[in-house]
Amino acid sequence: GQSLEQPSEVTAVEGAIVQINCTYQTSGFYGLSWYQQHDGGAPTFLSYNALDGLEETGRFSSFLSRSDSYGYLLLQELQMKDSASYFCAVNRDDKIIFGKGTRLHILP
């Protein structure tokens, strides 16, 4: 089948760095995307990897390795406002598949 696996929850301390992993069982996709969703809000786009390697956007970075069927989102200098759910997603011609999401808890 086609699925993306993420940890259900991750906890980190304010100011620290956290990595959210995403492993997938699908093929033929254009790239791996990451979205952030605060409680009661809409998902918002964070990052996209079309090619293997690291993409950096401010405090957020994302990585993709197609050979390992693996990607991750790296959040640096964590702030309390980063407390949210994070979803990885793959884009194909015929559909978009989201993971179940990782709930990030940040401790002061």
Partner 1 sequence: ETGVTQSPTHLIKTRGQQVTLRCSSQSGHNTVSWYQQALGQGPQFIFQYYREEENGRGNFPPRFSGLQFPNYSSELNVNALELDDSALYLCASSEAGTGGNSPLHFGNGTRLTVT
Chain positions contacting partner 1, by CB under 8 A: 30-31, 33, 35, 41-45, 48, 50, 87, 89, 91-101
Q: How far is the CB of 15 from partner 1 (least distance, A)?
A: 28
CB of 86 to partner 1, least distance (A): 10
Residue with tokens 């952030």: 36
H or E stretch including 51? Answer: none
Q: CB of 31: closest distance to partner 1 in angstroms?
A: 6
**Of 9 and 77, CB closest to partner 1:** 9
Residue 54 to residues 48, 61, 71, 80, 84, Cα–Cα distance (Å)? 10, 7, 10, 25, 22
Structure tokens at 22: 């995403």
